[in-house]
Structure 1
Amino acid sequence: MRSKFLYLFLFTITGLSILAQTPKLAVSIPANMKQFVLKGYQVLNITKGDLNRDAYSDAVMVLYKKGEERTSDVISHPEKRPLLILLGQAENTYKVASRSDNTVYCVDCGGQMGDPFTGVVIKNGYFSVEHYGGSAQRWTRIITFKFNAATKKWLLHKDGHEYFDATAPDKSVSEVQTVKNFGNVPFEKFDIYKDH
């Protein structure tokens, strides 16, 4: 039910979202990561950190389709943004450990505020994907995944929402769901566009 409410909210203000789009900043892509950029896509974000608690630095890479501002439609056809988990290897190389096309909201899913994606945070086997959107009624969504050493996979750990009026940001309403609410949800199976 929560997702349906959020969708309705996003859809009613989508018409203004194109006006709020801002140009994307060029992301510097390390030479040892260029091979992971899918054909027809560009890099939206690269964040480095420890994703699997080993000796090597890892990374999360978020991609976007070229021209997504023109082709994405939040209601009928949101342009998906692949998120790649890249694990560091010996000799300063990486390998793709996992991919999801449903963890980062589309370019026009933020309504009047524009692109809702604000970044990725990595810390000690956890990573969070952060979003912010709305218009007079603002919202945030932070989705956190945790590395499971036994399965060598990342599982949904927390899904947090906050809603507030722009004129009264101190009167926010927060909701955080955890494993107690949604059970074991693998990173690859998570879908930001649906209830889990």
Structure 2
Amino acid sequence: MLSAILYPRYSVLIIAVALFAATSCQQNSHINAAKAKSNTPAVTAPANAEQADTSSDDAPLAHFKHEAFNEDIDDLPPAIAQFVPGGYTAIDTATGDLNLDSWPDMILVLKKNGEDTTSDVSEHPEKRPLLILTGKADNTWQIAARNDNVVLCIDCGGAMGDPFMKVVIKNGYFSIEHYGGSAWRWGRVTTFRYAPADAYWYLYKEGSESFHATTDPNKVTTTIKTTKDFGKVRFDEYDTYKED
């Protein structure tokens, strides 16, 4: 069943943050990530942008379109596509054992259609739901959890554009990777772990790195927070938009 629903995703960007050993892949250079993503502009203007009506201070904003890092996934199998609400499209998937029952599970990251023109990071960020689907022995799926505040919006990455990179699953853990900034770059990996006693997922670690891309890219500040810092946080209660 795994081969029937797994779609390999090849990331063109290596994120700046080291993934935790229990949850993700090999650590990569933040400098490579900065160089790779800096080639993609945060927003693009139409060819006739110079002719746009500028009679109002707000008018030009309607002509800009945010660029998404991940492409739309339009070929989900029907058994998975049924969980995508109307008006939304999947932009990332990951498959693995999320609840340690040996059956393959899946994470879907969704976007609201039209987010590239309607999202406003300051006033109205368009939320991107993350769905946890657990697989059953009869080859069916069910939604085990959902959080609309764990994946950042399309224009939440500053000058670097869309900050969402990917989601990774490994043996009851899953991590969400973000990368963004301008001259000051930042990366973040948020990791959740399954608790068998509660049959649910809780925040496990949150790691971040920052550096200045032009003045001193090799001087990296790293911060790692654990349950000693944030306590017991359920997956569905985590809010990346909430200020510390």
State the TM bucket, normalised to the shorter chain.
0.7 to 0.9
Structure 1 unaligned residues grouped into runs of 5+: 1-15
Tell me the amino acid that sits aligned with residue 71 of structure 1: T
Q: CA deviation at 1:23?
A: 6.8
Aligned to 1:71: 118
Aligned to 1:48: 95
> How many angstroms apart in 2 are the aligned matches of 1:101 and 1:75?
17
Q: Point out 4+ residue stretches in structure 1 off by more than 6 angstroms.
A: none
Deviations 1:103-142 (A, max 9, x none): 0000000111111000001111000000000111110011
Aligned to 1:189: 237
Contact 1:18–1:69 under 8 Å retained in 2: no
Aligned to 1:96: 143
Contact 1:45–1:61 under 8 Å retained in 2: yes
Task: State the Cα RMSD in Å.
Answer: 1.5
TM-score normalised according to structure 1 size: 0.88
Tell me the amino acid that sits aligned with residue 203 of structure 2: L
Deviations 1:73-114 (A, max 9, x none): 001110000000000112322100000000000000011111
> How many angstroms apart in 2 are the aligned matches of 1:172 and 1:100?
30
Higher radius of gyration, 1 or 2? 2
> How many angstroms apart in 1 are the aligned matches of 2:110 and 2:217?
31
User: Alignment partner for residue 17 of structure 1, among 42, 45, 54?
Assistant: 42
User: Alignment partner for residue 166 of structure 1, among 193, 213, 236?
Assistant: 213
Contact 1:32–1:92 under 8 Å retained in 2: no
Structure 2 unaligned residues grouped into runs of 5+: 1-40, 45-65
> How many angstroms apart in 2 are the aligned matches of 1:133 and 1:163?
10
> How many angstroms apart in 2 are the aligned matches of 1:159 and 1:26?
27
Contact 2:193–2:204 under 8 Å retained in 1: yes
Higher alpha-carbon deviation: 86-95 or 137-146 = 86-95
Tell me the amino acid that sits aligned with residue 173 of structure 1: T
> How many angstroms apart in 1 are the aligned matches of 2:130 and 2:229?
24
Q: CA deviation at 1:18?
A: 2.1
Which structure shows the bigger proportion of residues in helix conformation?
1
Aligned length: 181
Which structure shows the bigger proportion of residues in strand conformation?
1
> How many angstroms apart in 1 are the aligned matches of 2:188 and 2:230?
16
